[in-house]
Structure 1
Amino acid sequence: MTMADTRERLVRAAADLLVEGGRDALSTRAVSAAAGVQAPTLYRLFGDKDGLLDAVATYGFASYLANKHSLGESDDPVDDLRRGWDLHVEFGLSRPAFYLLMYGEPRVREARQEADAMLRRIVERVAAAGRLRVTVERGAQLVHATGMGVILSLIATPPEQRDLELITAAREHVLQTITTDAPDDTVSDIPSRAVALRAALNENPTDALTPAEHGLLAEWLDRIARRAGRGITRRPTGL
C-alpha cells in the first residue's frame, strides 16, 4: 500500500468516525485503529491531530463542491443562487458534524476558498444581469452569513423542534434584500446598474481607461451601490 493509499484510508476512517460520533470521536488512536494503521504513520502523514482535521475538512469540501458543480448554471442567476442556498443548507443539516468542522473552525480556511469563490461567481452573475442592489462583496457576505446562521441554529435545535420553514423564509428574505426584479429602464434602477457595470468591468476590463481611472471609476460605482444597501433608491430630482 502506498503512502497516498494509507493517507486516503486514514481520512476515510476519520470521516466515518466524525459522522458516527462527532468531533470528540476523532482521537488519533481511534482513527489509527479504525484504519488499521499504526499511530506513528498518522503523525508522519498529517503532523498532528490538527493536520488530520484539516484533511477531513478538505475531504468534506470535496464532496460538497462536487454536488455544487453538478448544479450547473441556468439562464437565471438568481434562481441559481436560490438552488445553491438549498444545496448548502441540505448539506449542513444532513452532515452536521462535517459542517461544524468545515465552517466552525477558524483554521480551516484554504479548503473553503473554492466554495467561497463559487458563491462569489454566482453573485457576480446576478450583478452582471443588473439584478444586484448591493456590491458583490456585500451580497456574497449576506448570503453566506445568513445561510450559515440558519444552519447552525437548526443544528443546535433538536430535530423534532426544528422549524424548517425558517430555511425558505431566510432565503427569500436575503434574496429580496440583495436582488431586484428583472431590470427595467427606470432611473431609480441606477444603483443596480452601477453594480452591473462594476461586475462587467471586472470581467472585461477596458483599455479606454488607465489603471488609475479604472480604480477611480470602481470606487464611484461602489459608492453608488452602497447607497442602495442603505435603502437610498430615490429618483433624482431636477434632472
Structure 2
Amino acid sequence: MRIQPLTPDALVAELVERIDAFPKDTWTRVLVDGAPPTRPGALADTLTDPLKARGRPVLRVSARDFLRPASIRLEHGRTDPESFRTTWLDANGLLREVLAPLDPGGTGKVLPTLWDADRDRASRADYVTLPPGGVLLLDGTLLLDKWLPAELTVHLWLSPPALHRQTPEDERWTLPAYDDYEPQADVTVRYDHPTRPALVGTVG
C-alpha cells in the first residue's frame, strides 16, 4: 500500500485537481467524510475558493443540517451509538433534497438545509439552483455506508487511538459507532495529524 505524505495545501491542490477533472456540463457531488475530530467541514471549506477560481460554482452543504427530529434521533436515549450511526442522519431527506436533484438530467434545485437540530424544527431554508458544472461539497460523519450517490468520496481516516484521544470525553459514547466502519472511499487520507496528512494510494 502506497502512503504519500502531503502538506495540507498540497492535499487541497490534489483534491481540487481531481474534482475539476470531472465534466463541466453536469454536476459533481463530493462527499467529505470523517469523524468529528477530523473536521471534515473545514477541509470542504478550503476547497471552495480554489474551485471557484477555476470557474466552478460551489455549493456547501453539511449533513448536520439533515439530522432527524429529536423524537426519532433520541428514541433510544441520548447516548446510543447504534442510533448515532444508523438513524440520526435523515439520509432519505439528504438524497431527496440535495443529491438526487444533481443526478444527470436533474433540476439542479437543492435545499441546502432541512432541519435545525439545535431548535429541533425545520430550517425553513429556500431552494437554491446550482448551475451545470457546479460542485456540491457535502461534509459529514458516517456518510459512506448509506449508499449516497457521489462522483467523488473522500474519507479522513483516524487510527483508533487517535480517534479516542481526539474525541471529547462527553462524546466518547459515539466511539462504538466507528468500530467496524471501514468505508471504501475514492480517496482515503490518513488524518491522525491534520498538519501532516497522507494519501493512501493516489488521487490521480
TM-score by length of 2: 0.27
Computing the radius of gyration from Cα coordinates, the structure with the larger value is 1
Q: Report which of the two has the higher share of strand.
A: 2
Greater helix share, 1 or 2? 1
The TM-score, its normalising length taken from structure 1, stands at 0.24
